[in-house]
Amino acid sequence: MADDQAIANACDAGDTIMARMVDLGLVKESDLYDSRYLENPEKYHEEIDDDPTGYTPKGRELFECIYNEFVAPFEENDSEYLDHYLSDDSPDQLNDDGYNWILNRGFDELETEAEKAELIRQFLKIGGQE
């Protein structure tokens, strides 16, 4: 996963690029930001808890596109992540305790690679696999 600095840099890049696009007249500020946010950001933050950014759906999509271009090179995709910890030839293959932990939490019943990778991340986060 990307480190905190890479995430912060990606967020800054998204904000900077979007602001520059507005400055150059490539997009309207109202295309990127909710009108309530543009009128009064403080009031918007008080009233809207679930999205403090103030983005419109288009603004959110553009920000995430920029963000992902900056962060993606630092992250393994879920398939690579699973290979990294489950492949027989990987030096970081889960040990027996790790396999038992994920199996006891329904690993085999999970449908997507994202769900399976997240379960392994949980195991590693609690200190498994020294």
List, for residues 8-44, the tens digit of each pLDDT value.
888 899 999 999 999 999 999 999 999 999 999 888 8
- pTM as predicted: 0.53
What does the alpha-carbon distance between residue 37 and residue 20 come to, in Å, rounded to a whole number? 18
Give the dihedral sign, CA 97/103/104/110: positive
Map out the domains of the chain as residue ranges: 4-74, 78-125
Residue 52 has a CB neighbour count (10 Å cut-off) of 11
What is the enclosing helix (H) or strand (E) of 67?
A: helix 57-71
**Which amino acid is present at 32?**
L
**pLDDT tens across the length of the chain (130 residues):** 456 777 888 889 999 999 999 999 999 999 999 999 999 988 888 888 777 788 999 999 999 888 888 876 555 678 888 888 898 888 888 988 889 999 999 999 998 888 998 899 888 888 776 5
Q: Which amino acid is residue 76, in one-letter code?
A: E
Average pLDDT, the chain: 86
CA separation for the pair 70, 98 (Å, rounded): 32
- Tell me which DSSP letter residue 48 carries: -
